[in-house]
Structure 1
């Protein structure tokens, strides 16, 4: 047999994990309201589909933004020809302006420090290549996005050292936890080169307050290690407190700015993962220069740059989009968490992201990660929902699950909620329903289609009405 490289034969990609297994279950049997009503509903995909009609309207009104229309074809030749890997000036200017807008224009970004990459995946790897050598380490607070094991480690050889955060303080990052992780790395003879934080957090949906960020900046400055701020969910914060960027904090805390780097993209904030628009923004000239050279391996297409630049330079569109997106996310989040609460399912209080951190600890037959995996298999195979177990996010407490709520239509969400309720009612000895919320105040902020359905969820006892027209869960027919 012909020998292959260690990358080709190894398991560094991390695909053999429950996080990716859930995706495989969905891809094998995807839900469709008519063709596959018993299929798996995708709730493991952090995708923002709630503003597509708003964006579609803009596209219809601005056909010149596309090079494949009579209005835009005049720019086809110049855009189709070779483009410098620095990126189109108008694209970098538009992205820099948008980054400032979603941070409330409290900070400005320099277009000359905007380096493009093929999505946040490529941006993270690019930063890792720039900051650390194989065998050196980055600290990462838990729970964290499973893809980091691939993005930051697989091809770079960089190690990830977990910073253990706990539910007792809502998984907040503390100075003690940072110090403990740093000391553990030293004991393991790992040289720590940086700290990666995700703000807003994936999978928690929470944001870091200003004091926490200041503490983090002081920590990395004292240790003389880099800080990578993943801020790809910056515009998904839908209620107070407002998002605070690391770019704001370094204006208030004395630090070596050569240590500060931001990863951004348009995949989450605008719902454009297919466009592969990733951004590295560094305050370090050497990192900018190196990353720009590396970007030639994962450029954003010129056609995409042209479309994005045209769209983001429309100030009215951007302002209205930010408001509309937050409004839609807020309504969906409120309705989804309220619906879960009616059958006693709690979640970590959050105000950002495209997901909730669902607490199913009461449903574990045993308070272990084996117990968590047993529950997850039931949810995947019988309830037919692809939700992601906390252990795949390196959470150190079993029973937490990430559930995405913005990647589906209202009707699909209703089916998912119906399946969850049926499952919980079958297991109601393990969990006690919470007290009903007041209907009047909640209805005011819900989409009309969902508000009209509210009464269908409620009976005098606070459980789903037996007259609800929602589809029945396949769990009812599943073997025990």
Structure 2
């Protein structure tokens, strides 16, 4: 057999993680309200589908934004031909303006520093290539997105060193934790080139406060290492405290701006992961120059640039979208967390993101990651929900799970909650049978709250609830 590359034969992509295994379980048996009522419900996908009707209305009212319409076809040839990898000026200007609006207009972004990439995945790899050589390291606070192991390391050879954060202080990033990770890297003979923070956090759904951000900037300045701020969830903050960007902090504190870089995209804030709009915004001229050259390997299509430029240049639409998105996320978050709390499931207090950090520690047979995996297999194979175990996010404490709540319609969410309720009843019956509430009362409680929280924009034309075997078993 002819030999192929180490990348091709290696395991650097990280697909052996339970995070990806959960996706495979869903893809093998996906839930459908009619065809597969017993299928796996996808709750491992951080996708924002709550404002699609709002966006659809704009698209229908602006047919000129599409090149495949009578109103837009006159731009077809111009856009279909070669485009400079700097990106269309109107696209960069619109994205820069949107980034400023998402941050409350408290900071402005220079369109000439906007470098496009194929989604945040490509943007992170681009930054890694620009900042570090193979064998050098980035510090990353835990828990963190499993895809970072792929995005930052697989093809670049960069090492990731966890900054261990703990539930005892709600997983906040502390100076002590940063110093400990930095020293651990040095002991392993790793040269630390940067620190990557995700703000708002995936998977925690929390934001970093000003004091923490200032402390982080002070740390990277003292160590003379780069700071990468992943801010792809900036517009998903749905209640106070408000989001604070690293770009605001460097306006207030003394800082070597050559060390500051932001990764952004429209995948989460706008709900457009399929458009593959990733952005690198660096305050370092050399990084901007290098990243722009690298962007030729992962450009955003000209057709997408054209549509996005039109949409984000509509100030009235953008202003209303930001408000609408926050309202829908808040409503869904409140309903989801309240429903879980009524069956005894808690979660980390959060105000952002498309997910919650669910606390199932009390369901573990023992406080080990093996026990966490046993519980996860039950949830996947018996409850038929794809949720992601904390160990796949490098969480240092077993029993936490990330659950996404914005990637489904209201009826699918109801089925998921009923499955969780049934599972918790069985668990409680086994543990404390005399203290159980009547199932009927819980069912009525869920029904009463439905009218208060359900969004008319997310109602499926085919309600899955009557077809669900779990519902039949309850009635």
Normalising by the smaller structure, the TM-score range is over 0.9
Aligned match of 2:51: 51
Select 2:470's aligned residue among 470, 473, 480: 473
> How many corresponding residue pairs?
461
Match status 1:446 vs 2:457:
no
Distance 1:472 1:421 in 2: 14
Q: Distance in 2 between matches of 1:417 and 1:474?
A: 11
Instruction: Structure 2: state its 5+ residue gaps.
Output: 460-464
Q: Does the aligned pair in 2 maintain the 1:341–1:433 contact within 8 Å? A: no
For 2:187 and 2:455, locate their aligned partners in 1 and report how far apart those are by CA, in whole Å: 57
What residue in structure 1 maps to residue 147 of structure 2? 147
Are 1:382 and 1:474, in contact at CA under 8 Å, matched by a contact in 2?
A: no
Specify the alignment match of 1:222 in structure 2: 222
Matches of 1:369 and 1:191, distance apart in 2: 30
Could you give the per-residue CA deviations for residues 155-196 of structure 1, whole angstroms, max 9, x where no partner exists? 000000000000000000000000000000000000000000
Q: Tell me the equivalent position of 2:401.
A: 401
C-alpha separation between the residues in 1 aligned to 2:72 and 2:59?
12
Change (3 A) 1:106 1:470: farther
TM-score by length of 1: 0.93
Once the 2 structures are TM-superposed, how far is the Cα of residue 472 of structure 1 from its aligned partner? 3.8
1:4 CA drift (Å): 0.9
- Deviation for aligned residue 1:447: 3.1
Q: C-alpha separation between the residues in 2 aligned to 1:9 and 1:161?
A: 24
Per the TM alignment, residue 476 of structure 1 is displaced from its structure 2 partner at its CA by 7.5
Partner of residue 325, structure 2: 325
- Give 1:366 shift: 1.3
User: Could you tell me which residue of structure 2 aligns to residue 79 of structure 1?
Assistant: 79
Whole-angstrom CA distance in 2 between matches of 1:369 and 1:152 = 25
Match of 2:176 in 1: 176
2:279 is paired with a residue whose SS is strand
**Per-residue CA distance 1:324-379 (angstroms, 9 max, x = gap):** 00000000000000000000000000000000000000100111000000000000
**CA 1:469–1:174 in structure 2 vs 1: closer, same or farther (change >3 Å)?**
same
Asked whether the 8 Å contact 2:425–2:436 carries over to 1, the reply is no
Higher percent of residues as helix: 2
Q: For 1:378 and 1:219, locate their aligned partners in 2 and report how far apart those are by CA, in whole Å.
A: 42
Name the residue aligned to 1:461: none
Whole-Å separation in 2 of the counterparts to 1:32 and 1:361: 30
1 CA distance for matches of 2:260 and 2:93?
21
Match of 1:206 in 2: 206
Indicate the SS of the match to 2:251. coil
The 2-side partners of 1:125 and 1:309 are apart by 25
Query: Aligned pair in 2 of structure 1 residues 93, 366: CA closer, same or farther (>3 Å)?
Result: same
Match of 2:462 in 1: none
Question: 1:71-102 CA deviation, whole Å, 9 max, x = no partner?
Answer: 00000000000000000000000000000000
Alignment of 1:359-374 (within 5 A): 359-374=359-374
Give the TM-score normalised by structure 2: 0.93
2:260–2:282: 8 Å Cα contact kept in structure 1? yes
1:182-197 matched pairs, under 5 angstroms: 182-197=182-197
The residue correspondences of 1:46-125 to structure 2 (distance < 5 A) are 46-125=46-125
> Aligned partners of 2:23 and 2:454: how far apart in 1?
29
Structure 1 segments unaligned to the other structure (5+ residues)? 453-467
